[in-house]
Structure 1
Amino acid sequence: MSELYGNSQLTGKEKFFQDIIVSKTDLEGKITYANRVFMDIAGIADEKACLGQPHNMIRHPDMPRAVFYLLWQTLKSDKEIFAYVINRALNGDHYWVLAHVTPSHDMNHNIIGYHSNRRVPNRMVVNEKIIPLYKDLLSIEKSCSSPKAGMEKSFQTVVDLLADAKLGYNEFIFSLGV
């Protein structure tokens, strides 16, 4: 765990923001850029303190592993992804975002990192659709004998949901109403 992250407990307090949160990472998910909005909402005093840190330092335990697995599989396939994400500030507060994450390329079109823009999410969608879905996915993940088995079963639940809806993941997110 990152030294920057510390041992903060969850507070249950939600933070809100208005501007676009921007960050960039390298191929390993280590932060190479963070805008002031990112640092303020995450509770990071100095950009230099977060550079080189793993982006998952703001991972909230209520975020299903299956969604991150889908995110990374999509990005490694050189595609963009939209996802609702609950993040954890360094002090234990949390905040919801609608993330748009894209691969970054060099001049030869090789993936060299990832760029994430996060905006204020639709609260009705978060409260009525995403929170219940994520609770179900987390319940599945916790019911299995290992984290890997839980993530795989939870991911299959997402795959089945998308197949039933006859939608890709991004289409599903937009069908909820952003």
Structure 2
Amino acid sequence: MSDPWDLATAAHRWFNLAPDKLTERQRRVLKRTKARRTIALDTNADFTQALTFGQRLADRVASIGGSWGFIIGFGLVLAAWVGLNSLLAARAFDPYPFIFLNLLLSMLAAIQAPIIMMSQNRQALKDRLDAAHDYEVNLKAEIEIIALHDKLDQMRSQDMEQLIRRQEDQIALLTRLLDAASRPPAG
């Protein structure tokens, strides 16, 4: 009987592919399954360690800029700006229609939008890495479950063979006993 974890056998058994058609991911899963090694990783830790200072800063800006605290705080700053300039009237540093405030808001939006987009792109990349890793874990789990089913089927088959042999032995013994009992006594 061939080794079920031989690459050619495993490739055909689990993926219905020739070994040279396997992807690197499939090879990695088969190798780890054969070695009975885990495949689970902490993708968050790996991803976070690889971030540059600028990427961490962009993520922090995006998390602050996308929070209720920022929205409420910024709303209060805007209300104070408009209120103060309305009360000062003729001596206001940014009189109505608040052109300087519009300039500051436009500059803030021009800077904040690309930073948030960078953070979202990085989050999308992280999500793709998580999905790829989840696929590998699920694939390994599926292979392990099928392998367990195969082992159970094999054990069940062996148990059935042993049961049949025992029944045949019992039938033979009963036949001998019946033959002995049906013979007339010698004597």
TM range (shorter): under 0.3
Give 1 or 2: higher strand fraction: 1
State the TM-score, normalized to the length of structure 1: 0.21
TM-score of the pair, normalised by structure 2: 0.20
Structure with the higher helix share, 1 or 2 = 2
